[in-house]
Amino acid sequence: MVTEFTLNGELAALPHFLTSLAIGLLIGLERERSPGSRAGLRTFALVGLFGTLTAMLSEEANTPWLLLGGLLIVGLMTIAAYFHIKDDSGDPGTTTVAAILICYGLGVAVWYGHDTLAIMLAIITTVLLYFKTELHGITEKLSRRDLISILQFAVLTFIILPVLPDKNFGPYEAINPYQIWLMVVLISGISLAGYVALQFIGPRHSAVLGLLGGLVSSTATTLVYARRSVENQHFTQLAVVVILIANLTVLIRLAIVSAVASPSLLPHLLPILGSGFLLGSGVTAYWWYQLNQHNQLPVPETKNPTEIGTAATFGIIYGIVLFFAAWLSDIAGSKGLYIVALISGLTDVDAITLSSLRLYELGKLEATETITAISLGILSNIGFKLGLTFFFGSTLLAKQCISGMFATAGGIGLALLLFI
């Protein structure tokens, strides 16, 4: 027989204080190792307990001002400790002051029942404090262009998106400003992640460069490395690997986009994407094995993926493709949609993918038609990039890229015949 043990009366509040104590000890443990810190393990533990105690008394006395008073006392005492004791290291102590105030606030939050959130925030705070050197290194590596990219993505996501109406407009009710811009944010976010990571990786690993280049723009990556192969013949083998990996990354990218935009269709689309990825990966692995030397690779010159103009252009293209796909599908059936897929896929496979998924979610397309349209867009895009290697690259590069791109296209085509 199991007996349930509960705390009654005054002891019922004990778990809250234990949680606050653990939070204070966690943050204080990190601050204890900082030579310039005037607050350590015991101070943070006491501040956490003080926050919970103040919240309890404030609730009992129905006096919210006690919480503000406690915050002012903790802040002033910490500032005074740094003001009266000079530190040879020149550390002004602002980080420790902020950490103590957060610790107090977390202690208050624990009393009001936000234990899980308080613990999560305590862990995040400790991580930020501990990885000071690494975070400073990241900021030093970020250029002005990188910071602008991040800020522009914030504008796209948190300023423009919330003000757009989430309603269907126009013929076939295919145009939804909010949904269109949401897809812009999705593509820009994936591109931004690849773009920033590309700057940190630098010219070191061909596989990583191909992966990140594919996230930013596989077409741009193909064009850049095709040109490099003409300038330097010794660069050809490396360029082949980067281009083929970037080409395969498009399939991963589309799987991610599909999982977000239309999760119900993903199980039907994965066999198509997976077949192309597996066959393409086999050939790519062969060329990677043939790569006998590892020269320094230049980072591809990619445009800022989150520029307002770039994002707006994609949004317009997406909206146009969405409209024409709905229109041609209505008047010409699936053949009209497939024509749009082949044409739009030449330069941008994201637009036809997202527009097809959107029409599927609206019930205007069947699953088979949607998957076929996306597949045709991918095949059209592969053909366009193969053309770039012939037109801008060396003959050897084009011949070697054919095998990998044909394998990917063949895998997609074979899967279409088997599964559709």
Q: How far apart are CA 74 and CA 104, in angstroms?
A: 8
> Across all residues in the chain, what is the average pLDDT?
78
Does residue 2 form part of some domain?
no
Residue 370 placed within a domain: yes
Q: Helix count (H) and strand count (E) of the chain?
A: 17, 0
**Mean pLDDT computed over 407-411:** 92
* Residue 157: DSSP 8-state: I
| Structural domain total, the chain | 2
Residues 103 and 148 in one domain: no
Instruction: Mark which of 138, 168, 200 sits at the end of a domain.
Output: 138
Question: Is the pLDDT confidence value at 5 over 50?
Answer: no
Domain boundary among 90, 114, 138: 138
- What local confidence, expressed as pLDDT, does residue 208 receive? 61
Pairwise pLDDT comparison (182 vs 411), residue with the higher score: 411
Residue 399 forms part of a structural domain: yes
Taking the CA atoms of the chain, what radius of gyration do you get in angstroms?
28
**Which run of H or E residues covers position 168?**
none
Question: What tens digit of pLDDT does each residue of 121-156 get?
Answer: 999 888 888 887 666 666 666 677 777 777 888 888
DSSP string covering 40-71, please?
-HHHHHHHHHHHHHHHHHHHHHT-THHHHHHH
The answer as to whether 71 is a domain residue is yes
Q: Residue 172: which region, alpha, beta or left (left: phi > 0; alpha: psi -120 to 50)? A: left
Distance CA 164, CA 178 (A): 5
Q: Are residues 97 and 182 in the same domain?
A: no
Indicate if the alpha-carbon torsion angle 250, 256, 257, 262 is positive or negative: positive
Indicate if 84 and 191 belong to the same structural domain. Answer: no
Under a CB-based contact definition with an 8 Å cutoff, are residues 344 and 374 in contact?
no
Dist CA 135 CA 158 (whole Å): 24
Decide if 73 is inside a domain: yes
Q: Do 120 and 161 have their domain in common?
A: no
Q: Are residues 258 and 311 in the same domain?
A: yes
User: What is the pTM (predicted TM-score) of this model?
Assistant: 0.58
Is 21 a domain residue?
Answer: yes
Check whether residue 180 and residue 134 sit in a common domain: no
Cα–Cα nearest to 375, from 289, 296, 270: 270
Note the pLDDT tens digit of each residue in 354-402: 888 888 888 888 888 889 989 998 998 898 888 888 888 888 888 888 9
Domain of residue 355 covers 143-419
Q: Are 218 and 184 in contact (CB under 8 A)?
A: no
DSSP line for 174-239: -B-HHHHHHHHHHHHHHHHHHHHHHHHH-TT-HHHHHHHHHHHHHHHHHHHHHHHHHH-GGGHHHH
Residue 339: per-residue pLDDT: 82
Same domain for 406 and 282, yes or no, is: yes
Q: Are residues 121 and 152 in the same domain?
A: no
Report yes or no on 333 lying in a domain.
Answer: yes
Same domain? 178 vs 242? yes
Spatial neighbors of 28 by CB under 8 A, at least 6 apart, are: 39, 40, 41, 42, 43, 44, 45, 103
Same domain as 95, residue 62: yes
Last residue of a domain, one of 138, 153, 186: 138
> Is the same domain home to 364 and 292?
yes
Please give the pLDDT value at position 107: 92
Residue 269, C-beta contacts closer than 8 angstroms, at least 6 positions apart: 255, 258, 371, 374
Which residue in 17, 35, 26 sits closest to 102, CA to CA?
26
pLDDT for 238 equals: 76
Residues 182 and 80 reside in one and the same domain: no
Domain annotation covers residue 3: no
Measured over the CA atoms of residue 180, residue 186, residue 190 and residue 195, the dihedral's sign is positive
DSSP 169: B
CB-count burial class (<10 Å; 0-12, 13-18, 19+) for 115: middle
Q: Which residues contact 37 (CB under 8 A, 6 or more apart)?
A: 31, 91, 93, 96
